[in-house]
Amino acid sequence: MTPSLSETQLDALRELANIASGTAATALSQMLAREVEISVPRALALPPADAVDECGDPEQHVAGVVVPIQGDIEGMVLLLIPHEQAEILCALLGVEAHTEVGDSALREIGNILATSYLNGLGAMTGLELEPSPPHLHSDMLAAIVSTLLIGTAGADDLALVLDSELDVSGDPCSISFLLLPTSGQISDLLAPLGLADPSA
Amino acid sequence: MASARMGEMMVSRDSNEELVALGLGSCIGLAILDRTAGVAGLAHIVLPESSDRADQVGKFADTAVPELIARMRSAGATERRFETAIVGGARMFEMSGGLDIGARNEAAVRAALSRARIPINAAQTGGSSGRTMKVAVGEMLVTVREAGQQAETLLEGRAGRVAAGAGAAR
């Protein structure tokens, strides 16, 4: 069972997410030759049903890019891109959306963003974190998020979600960027910061 | 609209109510109707086995199915009149080492219904797409919809039944 996390621990996770998503935003900015803004990240430790609600409109049609993490901790990085905005993103990259090439471009964005995010996370924690090949799936937001949370949280009462929003300036294009650590791995993420103990 | 989220279930006899399970992926939506009593129930089941956990009965197929049946009965429904539909159990991601939770969920819900001797009248399960399930309590209509698709009827509403009955009588 996932123990509940203290405010200090959630703050530390938020700070990790902040720095790591900064690294990802830089990578996206270079890829698109546009400025990319990041929102203040959130660290949520919630029952899975609430965590799904926090991710957005359950029925919104989104492209989800999943990058499983290999290495010192298990889990996954998830990019959620609203259906229409995936088209804008593909256009910025000069490819057509909903084609083989368009899908492959979205997977590549996922790959690059996840790699830089994990590099950022690794640099701060000293953990070895490698991305596995990305998967792309277009579907209702809740179907994607709930299915993945069942994979990471299992039968646990709480799921941990670190999320931030990347906004591409000049276009209505934003990507939700989520880290879903497998339960039991959260203390490994906090241990290098000396915060593994929930009473910290 | 009343939303049954992951691990939640609801039973209603309010004819203006609509019960929904939004974005079912590997989860299973189980709808039970008793048209005569005007009672409908919906459970959003997450995992196959409770492994003897007593809390969160709605989350696990082996505990959620008997609980939904019991709540239907408390609301005045009778088991021999039950009509059921199941939705979900998709395998959305082909990830290495990932167990197919969707298929296990479906098998566990089917097994639990079979133990209770309740037949399944309609199903839209498996595949790789998420689905939304809706139960209109007044009409006794159960529908399912995939992302970007039209809704399909799983259990026909009262109006449809009456029309079919009238046709048969001619």
* Residue range B103-160, pLDDT digits in tens: 999 999 999 999 999 999 999 999 999 999 999 999 999 999 998 899 999 999 876 6
Residue B19: its pLDDT value, please?
A: 98
Which residues of chain A make contact with B128, given a CB cutoff of 8 A? 137
A-chain residue closest to B6, CA distance: A49
- Top-confidence range, A39-48, A129-138, B154-163: A129-138
Total residue length of chain A? 200
* Interface pTM, i.e. ipTM: 0.89
Give CA–CA dist A159/A167, Å, rounded: 25
Which residues of chain A make contact with B92, given a CB cutoff of 8 A? 137, 139, 143-144, 147
A-chain residue closest to B8, CA distance: A49
Which residues of chain B make contact with A137, given a CB cutoff of 8 A? 92-93, 128
Residue A157: its pLDDT value, please?
A: 82
Total residue length of chain B? 170
- Top-confidence range, A85-99, A148-162, B109-123: B109-123
B-chain residue closest to A59, CA distance: B23
Type of residue numbered A185? Q
- Strands A159-168 and A61-71: what pairing? unpaired
Reported as type and span, the H/E element at residue A77 is: strand A75-82
Q: Which of A5, A2, A31 is nearest to A199 (CA)?
A: A5
Residue B40 and residue A159 in contact, taking contact as beta carbons nearer than 8 Å: no
Which residues of chain B make contact with A143, given a CB cutoff of 8 A? 23-25, 90, 92, 129-131, 147
Radius of gyration (C-alpha) of chain A in whole angstroms: 16
Question: Across the interface, which of B8, B27, B147 has its CB nearest the CB of A146?
Answer: B27
What's the pLDDT band for B169 if we cut at 50, 70, 90? Answer: very low
DSSP B60: B
DSSP A6: P
Do the chains contact at B92 and A49, CB–CB below 8 Å? no
Say yes or no: A69 contacts chain B, CB-CB below 8 A. Answer: no
Tokens matching residue B107: 């098998």
DSSP B47: B
Give CA–CA dist B133/B20, Å, rounded: 6
Average pLDDT of the residues of chain A:
89
Residue A183: its pLDDT value, please?
A: 77
Give CA–CA dist A147/A48, Å, rounded: 10
pTM comes to 0.91
Residue B159: its pLDDT value, please?
A: 65
Instruction: Quote the percentage of chain A above a pLDDT of 90.
Output: 57
Instruction: Quickly count: other Cβ atoms within 10 Å of residue A30's Cβ.
Output: 12
Phi, psi of B26, deg, nearest 5 = -80, -10
B-chain residue closest to A66, CA distance: B93
Residue B156: its pLDDT value, please?
A: 92
Question: Across the interface, which of A135, A138, A142 has its CB nearest the CB of B95?
Answer: A135
What's the pLDDT band for B167 if we cut at 50, 70, 90? Answer: very low
Question: Across the interface, which of A59, A66, A140 has its CB nearest the CB of B93?
Answer: A66
Do the chains contact at A146 and B26, CB–CB below 8 Å? yes
Do the chains contact at B27 and A135, CB–CB below 8 Å? no
Q: Is the pLDDT reported for residue A97 higher than 70?
A: yes
